[in-house]
Every structure is written in structure tokens, then in C-alpha cells.
């Protein structure tokens, strides 16, 4: 049977109200060659639950799963161990309150969780105020650029060459519909993060400089230097972080002069999930900018009896109140992913996060040392946290495919990230987390040595 | 000094070619507790009937329109730290901004206090 709640009478009434004769007339602006003219090819019209399960199991066996193989992929999506406790806790009834916590009297569970989450993000980023989360790192990054435009009344965005190309791509797509001009650059294969090149591009028209930390090649830029140069020109510094575990070891961007800090929170608590849904993090260093912030904010208050409670606050920034003058068209947040992040972060604690970061970095150093001994392979970075770039005189895209056929997921080729840049085709980004073992590193080194000989 | 009123519930005090602008007691009453006011920067050119400031209460944000065109000479900086002045003293300490009047003829058609009171009486 088909699960369609509307009767023919309902549909007729709706069509009549809209002023369309039929459902087809309603969709008349969809080109006719895009219509489906029958069942989807290869998909049966119906199947039993058991048959579907069997079929899905067969399909899933075709995957080379991250957990079953030496795995060195990162570049904005990281495989970390998520404790089993996280999945259990996020399913508890206390958190299953109203979907939208606009009625604080019945949503204290959700609201308190958001408040704790914001506190964690603000501390992680070295910032004054964090919001209740955005959709993902790339959209959070775009929102930060738009916010900088509102604050500075300028429209030129300077993206550092080390900014993730997918983040750049989201920004350039969205900028087609705004006044912003996005100035981009492609990374050069050199050990340093190229601060001079970034600083040279900042001018009096620049609203913000967007710098990834650590950057797309794993290098760690000197944020304070770039922040000072940006502030001298009246521009803001937006720091972007795609690997929050790194901040268990590195100084927080907000303490290094960044005005807005954004990033991807997936690494903590969320898991790879085939690429989504993910979790955008967003925080500001200066509380005076709070009214220009996008997204939900949860605040602490007291109720009529003087008891501590939580509410959504400063909502007049948001589109359900301010309409076309809202700071953003996000009016929600990534609630479940934020909860998972917050639970995992709580389980880790300050000391746990530092230890996790130390383990990541130590294993990455081991991998860099071992790979550095592979003939024909060079480690590019002089700084990195848990991912670094290696180079060789071969097309890395093909090499990654060859190694995948042998059951080793060696990393992300720069050719995949920058398909139009021949100069980067011999680069491979290798990511090492606490889930990698020394045997995995050895297997990767041996496979690379074999492939390059 | 003479005081004028608009149907958008703004008052204007005119002294020479300087105008001081704020919102009326009736307006603050309708808004409820004011939590934030954004006033225009010095030097901003405002046009009659166009948005010049924003006033926010706990659950609403409203635009304040320039009742007359001109160049802003001063925003009320006291509102930054104490937006509640708009509630406690809407027609004195809670003023929004001052401007140099560009065209005095724009004052024509604005209400005096008596006319404004009569206008408000028709609203309730």
C-alpha cells in the first residue's frame, strides 16, 4: 500500500485554493523530459522486510569500511573512536524533548544540553560566545564571512590558500547571491603555511581573512601574525578548524586574535556517517558582536521562583522574528549531532581531550617518520597535528585507487581536492588518528614503497 | 522649541535646524521591555520615511523611520548600556538620535501633541 495521508478530496481542495487544475498543472514548470514515466529501473515495486534486509547486507559487503582496513582519510571528516556510551545517552528520553525548544517550560532538557554545548565550543575555540550549532563546517564558514560583512560594511573576503576547497566552493556558490566577492588562492607545495602570501592580499576593502588552522595540507599557520595584519587594515580574522581534536593540543584560535572561529564538529561524537549529517561550530571572541551572530543562542536565566533555567535568547536576530533583516536564514541547529558532540566532550573532559590529542599527534609523528623513509616520498610539512602532506613523482589519485584495491585507504589525494591544479597532483594528505595502529602505519608504508618502486 | 509627532509613533523636537528624534510613550508601551536599540552613526544621511534605527523588545524587532531627512549628528550612546531608558523616559532621556534638517518643508503635515493624542485615541 502507499502511505499518502491526503484523500482525493483533500487534494482537490488544495488545488482549488492554489488555483491549479491538477497536480501536473501545479508542476508545469518542471521540464517534461525530467518526469519519471514509470517505476525506477532496477527497483522492485515491493519487497518483504526480510528480503530488503538481505539485499542491503549484500550491498554493504561491497563497501571497504573504515573500521575494517588501514585507514588514513581526513581532510575535514575524521575517524575517531566514539565511545558506545554516546549512542546510549543521546537516546535517553530526557533529551527527546520538543523538536524546537521555543517553549522553555517543556524543553529544559534540550535547552540545558545546548547551553552546555555552547560552553564547550566557546572554551574549545577560546571565544566568548558560541551558538547552538550550524549545519556543517562549510556553511558555518560562509555565515562567518557574511557576519564579517555586516560588521565591517565591506564586501571583499580573502580566503587563505590553505582553506579547504570545498569550503571555498560553498562560499563562492553562495556569494553569487550576495554582494560579497570571494578572493581565493591555491596552495603551493611548501613546508610553511604561507602567512606572507596571505597578509599581502589584505587591503582596505577586505572585510575578513579566512584562515584554516590546521590548514588543508595539515600545516599550522601563525594566526596571531595574520590577525595583527588583518586588524591593522580594519579587517576581521575568521579562523576555520576542521579537526576539533587538534585544539586539545594547539592554542585556541580565539586566544590568537581570531574574531570569529568556525569549524566542523564531526570528529567529536558524530562519526563519519557517509559524509553527513555533520555539525557546524560557530563562536565569536568579542561579545559586542553577538547581535550580528547567526543561529540559535541558548542563555541561562532564572524562573519566577528564582530557580536556574535555560531559554533561547537574543532571538530578534533570527528570521522567525526579524524576517528579511535576520542575520541568517538558519533558524535551527544540528541538535542531535550537537548532543553527540557534547556527550563525547563531557566523557573526555579537558584532560581527556588533551590526552586524545597527544595520542593523535604522537601516532602521526610516527607515521611521518616512517613514511619519510620510503624512497621517492617526501613529507612536506614542518608543522602538523594529525594530518600531513606527502609528495612523490606520481599521480596520487591513481595511486590511492591502486592501494584501495589492495585494501589500504592511503589518504586523500590533492588531485581529488584540487582537480584543476596539475601542480598538486603528486600530493597526498595522510591522516592518522587514535584509531590507526602501528601495524596500519607499517602496512601503508610498505604499500607505498611497493607502489613507488 | 516645537515638538511634532508621526503616525509611526515618533516624536521630533525641532530647535533651529537641529531635530531630536525618539519614540513616544505609547510606542514603548506597545513594545514592552526594550532590550536593545541600534542608533545610526554620526554622519549617516537619513531620508524621510526610511529606516534609521532599530528598537528591540524581548520578542520583536521594529524599525524606527526617520520622520524627516537630514544628516545624523549624534546617536544616544546612553541607550547602548541602558536600553530600558526607552521605557522609563521615552520622550526625554530615551531619545534615539539628532540630525541636521535637510529640508524644513518636510515638517509640514506632521502632527502636534494634541493631534497625536487624538490619533492615539482612535487606535485603542
3-class DSSP assignment, residue A99: coil
pLDDT over 70 (residue A97): no
What's the pLDDT at A162?
A: 96
> Distance from A293 to chain B by nearest Cα, in Å?
15
In angstroms, how far apart are the furthest CA atoms of chain B?
38
Report the residue of chain A nearest B37, measured CA to CA.
Answer: A291
Chain B positions in Cβ-Cβ contact with residue A321 (cut-off 8 Å): 59-61
What's the pLDDT at A135?
A: 96
Q: Is B56 on the interface with A (CB under 8 A)?
A: yes
DSSP state string for A30-53: S-GGGS--SSPTT--S---HHHHH
What's the pLDDT at B2?
A: 87
> Could you report the per-residue pLDDT of A229-245, keeping only the tens digit for each?
999 999 999 999 999 99
Number of domains within chain B: 1
> Distance from A281 to chain B by nearest Cα, in Å?
26
A206, burial (CB in 10 Å: exposed 0-12, middle 13-18, buried 19+):
buried
d(CA A209, CA A234) in angstroms, rounded, equals 11
d(CA A168, CA B1) in angstroms, rounded, equals 57
Chain A positions in Cβ-Cβ contact with residue B60 (cut-off 8 Å): 316, 321
Confidence at B62, pLDDT banded by 50, 70, 90: confident
Averaged pLDDT score across all residues of chain A: 93
Domain presence at residue B24: yes
What whole-number percentage of chain A has pLDDT above 70?
A: 99
CA distances for A432 relative to A110, A228, A365, A392, angstroms: 34, 32, 9, 19
> Distance from B105 to chain A by nearest Cα, in Å?
31
CB A72 within 8 A of CB A430: yes
CA distances for A427 relative to A70, A253, A352, B14, angstroms: 19, 27, 33, 70
Confidence at A106, pLDDT banded by 50, 70, 90: confident
Nearest to A291 among B36, B59, B60 (CB): B36
Domain presence at residue B123: no
> Cβ A321–B61 below 8 Å, yes or no?
yes
Alpha carbons within 13 angstroms on the beta-carbon side of residue A205 total 10
CB A163 within 8 A of CB A215: yes
d(CA A264, CA A266) in angstroms, rounded, equals 6
Report the residue of chain B nearest A290, measured CA to CA.
Answer: B36
A46, A51, A55, A61: CA torsion to nearest 10: 160
B102, burial (CB in 10 Å: exposed 0-12, middle 13-18, buried 19+):
middle
> Cβ A291–B61 below 8 Å, yes or no?
no
Q: Which three cell numbers stand for residue B16?
A: 533651529
Q: What is the pTM of this model?
A: 0.87
pLDDT over 60 (residue A13): yes
Indicate if the alpha-carbon torsion angle A279, A280, A286, A290 is positive or negative: negative
Chain A positions in Cβ-Cβ contact with residue B61 (cut-off 8 Å): 316, 321-322, 325
3-class DSSP assignment, residue A103: coil
pLDDT over 90 (residue A156): yes
Domain presence at residue B73: yes
A residues 276-315 closer than 8 Å to B (CB):
291, 315
Domain presence at residue B18: yes
CB A279 within 8 A of CB A265: yes
Domain presence at residue B112: no
> Distance from B60 to chain A by nearest Cα, in Å?
6
H or E, element range at A375: none
d(CA B15, CA B24) in angstroms, rounded, equals 19
Q: Is B44 on the interface with A (CB under 8 A)?
A: no
Domain presence at residue B90: yes
Chain A positions in Cβ-Cβ contact with residue B36 (cut-off 8 Å): 291, 316
What is the average pLDDT across A163-174? 96
Q: Is B114 on the interface with A (CB under 8 A)?
A: no
pLDDT over 70 (residue A422): yes
What's the pLDDT at A331?
A: 81
Strand B18-23 to strand B10-15: parallel, antiparallel, or no bridges (unpaired)?
Answer: antiparallel
d(CA A199, CA A330) in angstroms, rounded, equals 32
Chain A positions in Cβ-Cβ contact with residue B59 (cut-off 8 Å): 315-316, 321
A6 or A433: whose pLDDT is higher?
Answer: A433
Q: Is A322 on the interface with B (CB under 8 A)?
A: yes
What whole-number percentage of chain A has pLDDT above 90?
A: 81
What pairs with residue B18 in β-bridges?
B15, B100
CATH number at residue B46: 2.40.50.100
Domain presence at residue B38: yes
Q: Is A179 on the interface with B (CB under 8 A)?
A: no
Q: Which domains does chain A have, with CATH numbers?
A: 66-82+349-452 (3.90.1150.10), 84-345 (3.40.640.10)
Give the helix ranges, DSSP H, for A31-158.
49-60, 84-90, 108-125, 137-152
> Distance from B59 to chain A by nearest Cα, in Å?
7
Domain presence at residue B110: no
- Print the domain residue range for B22: 2-103
What whole-number percentage of chain B has pLDDT above 70?
A: 100
Q: Is A325 on the interface with B (CB under 8 A)?
A: yes
CA distances for A186 relative to A171, A297, B80, angstroms: 15, 35, 43
Q: Is B81 on the interface with A (CB under 8 A)?
A: no
Q: Is A321 on the interface with B (CB under 8 A)?
A: yes
* CA R_g for chain B: 13
Confidence at A329, pLDDT banded by 50, 70, 90: confident
* Angle of CA points A66, A68, A72, to nearest 5°: 40
C-alpha of A167 from chain center:
9
Amino acid at each position: 500500500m502507499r502511505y499518502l495521508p491526503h484523500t482525493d478530496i483533500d487534494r482537490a481542495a488544495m488545488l482549488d485554493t492554489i488555483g491549479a487544475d491538477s497536480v501536473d498543472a501545479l508542476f508545469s514548470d518542471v521540464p517534461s523530459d525530467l518526469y519519471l514515466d514509470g517505476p525506477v529501473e532496477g527497483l522492485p515495486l515491493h519487497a518483504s522486510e526480510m528480503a530488503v534486509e538481505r539485499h542491503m547486507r549484500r550491498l554493504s559487503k561491497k563497501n571497504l569500511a573504515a573500521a575494517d582496513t588501514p585507514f588514513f582519510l581526513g581532510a575535514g571528516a575524521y575517524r575517531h573512536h566514539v565511545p558506545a556510551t554516546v549512542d546510549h545517552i543521546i537516546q535517553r528520553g530526557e533529551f527527546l524533548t520538543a523538536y524546537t525548544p521555543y517553549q522553555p517550560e517543556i524543553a529544559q532538557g534540550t535547552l540545558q544540553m545546548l547551553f552546555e554545548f555552547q560552553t564547550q565550543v566557546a572554551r574549545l575555540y577560546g571565544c566568548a560566545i558560541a551558538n547552538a550549532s550550524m549545519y556543517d563546517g562549510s556553511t558555518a564558514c560562509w555565515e562567518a564571512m557574511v557576519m564579517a560583512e555586516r560588521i565591517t560594511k565591506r564586501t571583499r573576503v580573502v580566503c587563505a590558500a590553505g582553506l579547504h576547497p570545498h569550503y571555498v566552493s560553498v562560499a563562492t556558490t553562495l556569494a553569487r547571491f550576495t554582494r560579497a566577492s570571494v578572493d581565493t588562492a591555491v596552495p603551493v607545495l611548501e613546508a610553511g603555511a604561507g602567512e606572507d602570501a596571505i597578509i599581502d592580499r589584505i587591503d582596505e576593502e577586505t572585510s575578513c581573512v579566512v584562515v584554516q588552522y590546521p590548514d588543508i595540507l595539515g600545516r599550522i599557520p601563525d594566526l596571531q601574525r595574520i590577525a595583527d595584519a588583518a586588524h591593522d587594515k580594519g579587517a576581521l580574522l575568521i579562523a576555520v578548524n576542521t579537526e576539533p581534536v587538534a585544539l586539545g593540543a594547539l592554542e585556541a584560535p580565539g586566544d590568537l586574535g581570531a574574531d570569529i572561529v568556525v569549524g566542523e564538529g564531526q570528529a567529536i561524537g558524530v562519526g563519519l556517517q557517509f559524509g553527513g549529517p555533520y555539525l557546524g561550530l560557530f563562536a565569536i571572541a568579542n561579545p559586542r558582536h553577538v547581535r550580528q551572530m547567526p543561529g540559535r543562542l541558548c542563555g541561562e536565566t532564572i524562573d519566577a521562583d528564582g530557580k536556574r533555567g535555560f531559554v533561547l535568547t537574543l532571538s530578534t536576530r533570527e528570521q522567525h522574528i526579524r524576517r528579511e533583516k535576520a542575520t541568517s536564514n538558519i533558524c535551527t541547529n544540528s541538535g542531535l549531532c550537537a548532543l553527540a558532540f557534547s556527550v563525547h566532550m563531557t566523557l573526555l573532559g579537558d584532560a581527556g581531550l588533551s590526552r586524545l590529542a597527544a595520542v593523535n599527534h604522537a601516532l602521526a609523528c610516527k607515521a611521518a617518520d616512517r613514511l619519510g623513509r620510503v624512497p621517492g616520498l617526501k613529507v612536506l610539512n614542518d608543522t602538523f597535528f594529525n594530518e600531513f602532506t606527502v609528495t612523490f613523482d606520481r599521480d596520487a589519485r591513481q595511486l590511492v585507487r591502486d592501494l584501495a584495491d589492495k585494501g589500504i585507504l592511503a589518504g586523500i589525494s590533492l588531485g581529488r581536492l584540487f582537480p584543476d591544479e596539475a601542480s598538486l597532483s603528486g600530493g597526498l594528505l595522510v591522516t592518522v588518528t587514535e584509531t590507526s595502529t602501528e601495524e596500519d602505519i607499517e602496512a601503508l608504508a610498505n604499500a607505498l614503497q611497493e607502489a613507488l618502486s | 522649541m516645537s515638538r511634532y509627532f508621526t503616525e509611526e509613533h515618533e516624536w521630533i523636537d525641532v530647535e533651529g535646524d537641529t531635530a531630536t528624534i525618539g519614540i513616544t510613550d505609547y510606542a514603548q508601551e506597545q513594545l514592552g521591555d526594550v532590550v536593545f536599540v541600534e542608533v545610526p552613526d554620526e554622519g549617516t544621511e537619513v531620508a524621510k520615511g526610511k529606516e534609521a534605527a532599530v528598537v528591540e523588545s524581548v520578542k520583536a524587532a521594529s524599525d524606527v523611520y526617520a520622520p524627516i531627512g537630514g544628516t545624523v549628528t549624534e546617536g544616544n550612546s546612553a541607550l547602548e548600556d541602558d536600553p530600558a531608558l526607552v521605557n522609563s523616559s521615552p520622550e526625554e532621556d530615551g531619545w534615539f538620535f539628532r540630525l541636521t534638517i535637510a529640508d524644513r518643508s518636510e515638517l509640514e503635515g506632521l502632527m502636534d501633541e494634541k493631534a497625536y493624542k487624538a490619533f492615539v485615541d482612535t487606535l485603542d
